[in-house]
Structures are given as structure tokens and as C-alpha cells.
Structure 1
Amino acid sequence: MEITVQGFSEKSLRPEVGRLHATVQAEANTKDDVLAKVTAVVTAFGDELRRLEALDEPPLREVVVRPITTSSWRPVNRGKMQPPIFTANASAQADFTDFAALADIAAAFGATDHLNLTYVEWRLTDETRLAVEAQCVAAAVLAAKDRAATMAKAAGAGDVRFLSVADPGLLGDRSARDLAYGAPASAGLMRSKSAMDVQGIEIAPEDITVSVTVQARFSADEA
């Protein structure tokens, strides 16, 4: 007898990193004016992030400030082309491990003209994510074996033996793919986002769930 089953495991943890995403955007009648506006904000915001990064015990890591880009467009009023409007944009992100410092930055810069603190992405460190995924894989395989053993017992068969184990849809038959349809990813990591308002944000880290699904095929001696 062959038995094909699916095993699932998940674990929820408190986030270790809050990745702050921010954008800077402005418009002006000349390219020089719009560049001056955006450059001033990017410089002030970036300098503060780098100051924190340089502390002996930094509350953040991996600061990324992307270059300023510009564009222009010409509005039309009553069928007549108007003088061009110039736009400048930039973006930045920083990974905070100290959420109180993240709240301080949001409060200090939340109402800054042309700066939009878009959201916080709650994450795990790579080391933690890989370790938890490994734990979930092991638990999912055991769950698959337990399920197969229950089926074998109900069918009056003997002990089950592994024939193969794989991520969903990789056992090579249609029934396995159908079983996996709509199931969680083989190693899924749910990251949550926290919205902000212009006055700063309330830092409320949400749990991150790591989930793993496997499929396994077993043999069992029929009674």
C-alpha cells in the first residue's frame, strides 16, 4: 500500500527588525528649486540615520539612501500648454533593531515637508529565519509521518516507511499537485506592514509567522 500525505508546521515569533521605508518628493517651477527642496530633506534625514548607525551601540543597521531622480511634465489649461513642472524623488530605508529609536525617528521626521514615512516592514534576522524554517521543516515531516501512520492504522495496514518527501507539487503526480493547491508555501515567511500618519507612528510590532508545508509518500504492508 502507498500513502501520500501533506504535513504542515508553523511558528510565530516577535519581529527582530523594523525596516522603515521612506520617500521624498517635491515639485517646483525650476529644476534647481526642486532639487534644492529634496536634497535638503534627504540630507537631514540621511545624516540622522547615519549618525545613529555610527553609535557604539547602534539602534539600526543597513541604511540605504537612494539617489535623487528628476522628471518634468507640462500641464494644459484650457487647451494651452503651460510652463513645465519639475519633480524630484528619492527613497530611503533603514533596519531598526531598537524599536524605541524607530519611534523617535518617526516622531522627529513624521511631519517634515516632502518626506513620507510610508510603512514599517517587520522582519526576522536571516539567522533566526533560517533556524526557524529548519525547525518547521522537521516538524512538518513528522506531522506527515503521523498522518500517514493514522491512515495506515485505519486501513488495517502495518507500520509506514518513507518512500519520498518533497515540497508541495514535487512528487510528480497530479493528485499531489492538487493537494498542494492553495496550501501555504513550502517555506513561507509572513511579513507585516504598519502604516503611519504624518505626526509619526505608534510602533506596534506584529508577530511574524514562518510556515512550512511538505508532501510525503509512504509504503505500508497490508494486513
Structure 2
Amino acid sequence: MVTITVAGTAHRLVPAERGTVRLRATREARRSADVVPFVADLHARLAADAERYVTAGAATRWSADQVYVSTVQRYRRDSDVAETFQVAAAGVAVRFSDFAALSTWVTDAGAVDGVVVDGVDWELTDDHRREIEREVRAEAVRDAQERAATYAAALGLDVSSVDAVYEPGLRPHDQLGLEGASVVQFGHRASADHGGPTVSLRPERIEVSARISADFTAS
């Protein structure tokens, strides 16, 4: 009998089904009285937009931060003299299922003075992600079985049993420290300059991957 140890891998690229837009209302001035009312008003408008998108069915949920104020030091150009400024900011995040509406909001909101588009996070729905993960894990196991059978045949043997299956990092004395079956998101970061051109957004594809190692006995 011979022990055959192999790796099994699988991956799948799946079109994104949700896109979460992250925006900030922000302003900087010497006095907090010059920034807080402006940011609070703009933030309320963004939150109202977000709620309308959810009500219309174009988005599934939204959230908003409170307005916060911080102090920063800015140096005058070609000088060692620092000046103190107050910065007010508040964020809004909206999870869209309608990507046309997402693009429209990023374009419209990104053109407003005081709005910064921090990015878009692409993802799958939770149920679909779990379904794809199960399928990819099974594909990784089948890949390992095929590899073991190929090695066994080259030795003039047949695989008689599987002795163990491990996700990366779980095999005894394995120092790789890798993750098991997982979703890896390659998020497309969107940005918009104030008054800049229309922002074109293309949903990213999400890579769902799995990797295992397995011990087989051939005889």
C-alpha cells in the first residue's frame, strides 16, 4: 500500500450582485461654526437620497454616520508656519441591487460640492455566496480525487480509500496559515472629483476559491 498526498483546488468567478457605495459629506474651515452646519445639511440630503433608493427597491439597505469634527494643522506654502483648521465629516453607505441607480447616484452626488466618493464594495448576496462556497469546496475535493487517481494509475495501483481531508492550515505541523474555502473580493474603488466628468462604474466579478489537501491510500 502507498499513501498519496495531494492538493485539490477550485475557483469560480461570479458577477457581483450588490454594490455598496460609500460617500462622505465634508468641509474644512478655520472655525467649526463654518463647517458643521454645512456638513449636517449636506449629510441629511445624502441620507434622504439613500432612504429613497431603498424605498424604491433600487437598494437593499443604507446606513449613516454622525457628524464628527476634527482639528488639523496645515502649513502655509513655503513656510514653517502652521495654521489650525476644523474639519467636519459624516458618511453615508448604500447597498445597491440596481447598478444603474448606483452609477446615477455616484455621478450626481459626486458632482456636489462637499461630497467625496470613498469607493464601491462589490459583493454577492449572502445566500448565493454560501451556495457557491459549497459547490467550490466540493469541486476542490473532486480535483484532489482525480489527482490521486492519476498518481495511483501511474504506479499501477488503484485508490482504495481516503484517509484524511484538510483545509489549509489545519493539517498537523502545517505552517502555511492559509485560509480555507473563502470569498475573495476584488473591490473596484470608485472616485469622483467635484464637478468632474461622469463616473462610469462596472461591477466587479467576485472570485470564490477553495483549497484542500488530502491523504489517499492506493494498493
CA contact (8 A) 1:123 1:191 kept: no
Matching residue of 2:202: 204
Matching residue of 1:167: 167
Matching residue of 2:216: 218
Matching residue of 1:13: 14
CA distance in 2, matches of 1:49, 1:151: 57
Pairing 1:191–2:186 present? yes
Indicate how the Cα distance of structure 1 residues 116 and 75 shifts in structure 2: closer, same or farther if over 3 A, else same: closer
1:122, distance to aligned residue in structure 2 (A):
1.3
Indicate how the Cα distance of structure 1 residues 36 and 218 shifts in structure 2: closer, same or farther if over 3 A, else same: same
Q: Give the TM-score normalised by the residue count of structure 2.
A: 0.88
CA distance in 2, matches of 1:192, 1:72: 31
SS at match of 1:128: helix
Matches within 5 A, 1:1-223: 1-55=2-56, 58-75=57-74, 82=83, 84-174=84-174, 177=175, 186-198=181-193, 199-221=197-219
CA contact (8 A) 1:24 1:116 kept: yes
Where structure 1 has 5 or more consecutive residues not aligned to the other structure, the ranges are none
CA contact (8 A) 1:19 1:94 kept: yes
Amino acid at match of 1:6: A
SS at match of 2:188: strand
Amino acid at match of 2:152: A
CA contact (8 A) 2:168 2:179 kept: no
CA RMSD after TM alignment: 2.1
Where structure 2 has 5 or more consecutive residues not aligned to the other structure, the ranges are none
CA contact (8 A) 1:152 1:160 kept: no
Indicate how the Cα distance of structure 1 residues 110 and 200 shifts in structure 2: closer, same or farther if over 3 A, else same: farther
Amino acid at match of 1:54: T
SS at match of 1:54: helix
Q: Give the TM-score normalised by the residue count of structure 1.
A: 0.87
CA contact (8 A) 2:122 2:185 kept: no
Task: Give aligned-pair identity as a percent.
Answer: 26
Indicate how the Cα distance of structure 1 residues 81 and 155 shifts in structure 2: closer, same or farther if over 3 A, else same: closer
1:68, distance to aligned residue in structure 2 (A):
1.2
String of CA shifts for 1:100-137, please: whole Å, max 9, x gaps.
11111122111111111122111101111100000000
CA distance in 2, matches of 1:159, 1:219: 6
